[in-house]
Structure formats: structure tokens, C-alpha cells
Amino acid sequence: MDAIRTLPAEAGRRCPRKQVLARLRQLVWACVPVLLCLLPLRSHALESVSVQLSWSHQFQFAGYYVALARGHYRAEGFDVELRAGGFGSADPKDAVMLGRAEFGVTNSDLAVSRMAGKPLVALAAVLQESALVWMAQRPPGDDRTGLRAPSGKDLARLARGRVAWRGDLDRQAELVLPLDAVGVNLRQLSQSIPPDPVDQFVAGQIDLMAGYRTNELLDLKRRGHPVSVIELDRSVPGFYSEILFTSQALAERSPQRIERFRRATLRGWQEAFDDIEGTARMIQRLYATQHSVDQLVAEGREMERLSRRDDIELGHMSRSHWERVAAQQVRLGLAPADGLGRIDGLLWGPHSEPVQLLPDPMRVALTGVVAALWLTVFGLWRIAAKGRAEVERLQQAQARQGDDDLRFQFLMDVAPFPVLMFGIRDGQVSYANERAIGALGLVNGTAQWLIHDSLPALRPGGDLMQRLQSSRILRDVELERPGVGAEAAHWSLLTMRAVEYEGKPCAFAAAVDITLRKRAEIELTLLSAQRGRIIEEVEQLQAKLRDASVRDPLTGLFNRRYLDATLRRELHRAHREGRPLSLMVVDADHFKRVNDHYGHAGGDEVLRQIARVLQDSHRSEDVVCRFGGEEFVVVLPGSDLTFAAERAESLRRMVESLAIPTDGGFAHITISIGVTATWPGDDADKLFKRADAAVYEAKRSGRNRVVVFSAAAPDEAPTHLAPAGGAMSDPGLGGGT
């Protein structure tokens, strides 16, 4: 099998197989976040978290094993990895602080770390009393049965002898407190770190040994070796142990996530204590094969005893208890004097308040020095043992190199989305998997592929390539591959990262085909535009219909329906504002003769020409209507009688001068106009009644004239109109023009 099936022939000859695979392996690990961002995520995907244990696998962590085996973590949405601890492994507190694990397990020294400025939060304490104790040799001649604590004098003597412990003694208050009570300073102790302290204790080579009730003490009991256990004074608060904790940042950012994990863990512990023997068999089979089931059962029973105190619930912690523990740690010099001010926020829950902690520089420096000294001593002890293991590991890694190459090749070739790499400066494709060949339209078998032949937007020197070189990564770039011939266009969503490959800048890209989505968007846009045009046409039609309902079809003037509504409105406004309003009624003279002589078509054209004269001469506020037949009405808001009369005379003269072309020759027509104005208390009927009376008088007086109704009183009868001759008369003025 070729190392990369999709490399062009010439490119394959230029890039040796091993070099290409080695480069691609580095690029894949560098671009894993890019690839993962493009994988579709299911709504019910489990969240991966890790727990850093404080020691190797044993009953000490039974609750986590049960929660994992019985699916409690999975039910809460977690995929949990349990990382065993021990000498040479990461300290759980450091692992959580550095983000290498989300959760950890430790003892009451968590308060020391909190007071030293590390923002850690305790979630649950499995043990209400610490299992860590001092175990001393029985004095010579003491053959009493049971566990007997030595006297203070004997303890001081033993502490000046051969003492064995592991870990940081200056962080374990439950060990420092008994020594402090008899005046023993930690610097007076001579530490011994034997490979098997229990064997040497039984052999009498160790006088005082630190160990766990659940481990070393049980081992001594099984061997029948007499031992004295140093118990803490009952007035001293018990030290929590096997504490589940996390970082303050995670607790504040995801409180529901923390509660779900805590709930699943405590459920696992409850079930582990309810069935200690069954849990021990499971642990011996899956995790701690070096221990017997009896050992694990004994450890589990002792832990179950230490987890109960005053019938409180499993995992319980209280703020006041933590404060008493912290006070003891400060008094013993294990924490800085001002550390009590930082203890707030250690206990997670509704009563804990997050506090921004700042590390004490002196404490950090001292811790660094102690850690450096301890690591130096421990490192020298481990060099010889680790040397051979390191050599073997390197040999195994070299042997696995070929397998790694195949795995990376397989990962790239079968990726469920297009993956490719091309030069930023020349656009030459140096790698493309099968999905990329199909999705981007690359032609297999050619000596050279250029990415911009398929995706013009990725042309070297273009805007996208310049942005990629400056920002190093571009996400969700939408690109179109134009169609060729009958083939339709395709769209892809690319995420690209700038990398160095064979000494030249390249783009490592992964794509998602969004062609179906884009086609749907285009269809939706077209439908939306079509809908807009239809709506516009409907609105135009509705406007025409509304206009047709108030327009006269022959002349285009407003009709009587519109006049009735408008005249009432204008009259109301004139009365309200105290403004004048005049009305003209225009009637064509001898119109029946016009119809008889020129026909109905000629008559219609005469009416249209009269309407044109009235329309062309009106003001914007005037209302010109065809009232019916050969009769027209003009409403003049804001015009007094004098202005209206002059206007009417002007209209009469313009109509009189018309020569209207018809099929039977040029027609001539004259009009009679009655003019009146509003009086107080007028309504539309009264106004029309006076205007009609004026028109009647004009007709009676010979037609082709303007008659103004201007009697002194609005109730006087029309018979008072008496035009004085001429084209326009005003009986109220006593004469006409």
C-alpha cells in the first residue's frame, strides 16, 4: 500500500514515504482541534473528564470504580478516566491546578494548599477521620493485647530514633500534631524510606512508622506483630480524608456539572459500602490484582467505619470543621499565619463564596525550595531504575513507528470529511484524501493539482491567503466551486491552518460540503423575491380598485360618492377653523342637442374636455367632481364668494372658447355656473340648494353665465336671485358682469 494514495505521481517521487508520513503525523496532532471542530456532535455525547487518584488502585477508591462500572457517571453524562497515583506520579492537586485533570483525590492538606494561594475547592469527604496515623514499636516487656498508645515520654524517645514515612510530612497535620504535643520538632526526625517499611518494622529496624489504618496497620495485625497506635486527642477535630476536589475556576464556571459528578461519585461510594465483599472482588479482578480479596474486604470495612461519625450523611463537610482544621495547620506552622483569611471558598456549595486568592511569595518560594530538594533526592534514587526502562521504552517506540505510520495514514484516508494540504504561495496540492478529491473536483492521476483551479478564492496572493498567513487560522470560510458544463456549482465550508511543510508555508484544511444548504438558501431567496413581486402587484391592484371606487370612469374626476364624504369633511373643517368655503355647480348648456348632433361618442368627448378644463384650472386643495350626467361640482376650501365668482367666470370663458373635434366636426359648448359660499349653520344640503338655485337662475336667464347666490339671509328663497344681465350676475350685489 502506498503511504499516501492520493499524492500526485511527481509529488510522490519528490517526497519519500517516511518523510511524508512523519510530517503528516506532526501536522495531524497540531490540527486535531481543527478536525474535531468539524466532526458533528450529538446532543447526547458524553463529556470526557479525568480523576487523578492519590495512590495506586485499591479499595481506597472503591466508590469511583463502582460509579464507573455501574454506569452512574454515564447516566450523568460523563466518560470518566481514573488515573492511578503513587510515587513518581503527579500530585493530584498539581494535576488539577495545571488542568491535566478535572478532579482529584487528596487529604486535609487541601486546606494547606488553599491557604498557600491555590484556588482549589473541596466537594466531598469520604472519610470523616483520617486513616493516617503513627505506629510505634511496643516497649520491651509490654505483652498487653490490643492497640496501645505509647506515653508521651516513650513517643519522644521513639521520634528520636529510626522514623519512616513517605510524602511531605510538613503537610500532614494529623502526623505533626502528636509529635508537637510531646515537643518533637520535625527537623529532629531522621527519615527512612525503605522499599518495604512493614517488613523492616516487624524486623525491629524501624522505631516509628507513619502508615494507614486501612493498609499498613491491617498488614501488621495479619502478621500478629504487636504495635502501638498514636491516637489524636478527642478534643482535636478529626481530619477529613479521601477528599474529592476540583479547581475553583471549574466550580464557578460549571456548578451543575460539578453537582452531577459529585452525586454520581457519592452514589458509587454508598453502593461500595453496602456491598463491601462484592466490591472487593470486582476491584481484585479489574484493578488491584496484587491484593487478595480478604485484604480488600478488611480495607473496605475499616474505611466504612471511618466514613461514619455521629450518623451524618456520606461525604458531609462543614465550614466550621474546616476552619478548626485550618487553625490547627496554621498553629503547627504548616500554613502561613495569614492563611486563615483564604480558607473561605474551600468548601463547595451554596454557603461557599469564591474568593480570588493571591499566593504568598515567601510560601511559594519555600515550597519550591523544599520541592526541588525532595525531587533531587528522589530523582537520584530513581535514575538507575528508570534508565533501563527508558531505553526499553525508546526501543519499543521505534518498533511501533511503522504501526504509527499506518494508523496516521488510515486516519487521513478514511476521515469522514475532505482533508487536504496545499501551498500558500503556489496553490499546489500535496495531499488530498478521497473525500477531498470528490468534493473539490480534483482530477486524480495528474502530475500537479492546483487548488485554485477548483476553488478560485484560494488563488495564491489573494485576500484569503493573505489573511491566513497573518492570522494563522481561518474558520468556517464559505467557498464556491463553479460548475463546469452541465455540472452545477458546489459550496464548501473550510477551516484552514497555516503550517510549515518541507520548508514552505502550506495550508492544512478540512472541509464540509454545504451544497444542499446553499441551494436551499438560493431557492428561498428566489421564492422570497417572487413573493415580494406578487405582493407589490396585489397592492397596486388594490390601489387601483380603491381609486376606481371614487373615480368617474369617463372623465377621471372624482365621483359623487367621493364628493359626499369630502364635502362633509371640508364643511366641518371650515366651521371649526372659521374659514370660508365656496361651491360651484357647473352644468353643460343644451347638452342633449350635442348628443343628438354629434352622437354619444361626441357627447362623451365634450364632457371629457369640460372635465379637462376644470381639472387643469383647479388648485391642489380644490375638489373637482362629476356629479352626474352633464353636471359637475367644484369645492373650493378657503375661498370666499368673490374669488369663487372670478374663478367661475374664468372657467366659463375657457369652455366657451373650446373647439372640440368629433366625428361630425368641431363641437362648441357653453356652461352655466351657480356659485355660493358657506353661511353659519350650513350643511351640505343647504349649500347645494343655493348653488342649484343659482344654476337654475343662470339657465332661466339665457345660459352661458355665472350666477352668484349672495342674499343677506341664508333662508331667503331663490326667487330673490335676479341677475342683472351679462355673463355673471350677483343679485346680492345688485348687478352683473
Catalytic residues: 630
* Contact (CB, 8 A) for 498 and 469: yes
- Biggest alpha carbon distance in the chain? 161
CA 153 → CA 132, 146, 158, 181, 186, distances in Å? 22, 20, 9, 11, 17
3-state secondary structure 498-514: EEEECCEEEEEEEEEEC
Residues with Cβ within 8 Å of 565's Cβ and at least 6 positions away in sequence, in order, are none
Dihedral sign, Cα of residue 341, residue 347, residue 353, residue 358: positive
User: Cα(696)–Cα(226) distance, rounded to whole angstroms?
Assistant: 143
Helix (H) and strand (E) counts in the chain: 25, 24
Burial of 40 (0-12, 13-18, 19+ CB in 10 A): exposed
* Residues facing 672 on adjacent strands: 587
* Contact (CB, 8 A) for 179 and 159: yes
239: which 3 cell numbers?
481530619
- DSSP-derived letter for residue 528 is H
Residues in the chain, total: 737
Q: If DSSP codes are grouped into helix, strand and coil, which group holds residue 586?
A: strand
333: which 3 cell numbers?
506552622
CB 79: neighbour CB atoms within 10 A? 13
* Angle, CA of 649, 650 and 651, to the nearest 5°: 90
User: Cα(534)–Cα(525) distance, rounded to whole angstroms?
Assistant: 14
User: Cα(136)–Cα(201) distance, rounded to whole angstroms?
Assistant: 9
* Angle, CA of 463, 468 and 471, to the nearest 5°: 120
User: Cα(371)–Cα(379) distance, rounded to whole angstroms?
Assistant: 11
User: Cα(415)–Cα(420) distance, rounded to whole angstroms?
Assistant: 11
Burial of 692 (0-12, 13-18, 19+ CB in 10 A): middle
Nearest of 706, 696, 693 to residue 651 by alpha carbon: 706
User: Cα(619)–Cα(695) distance, rounded to whole angstroms?
Assistant: 23
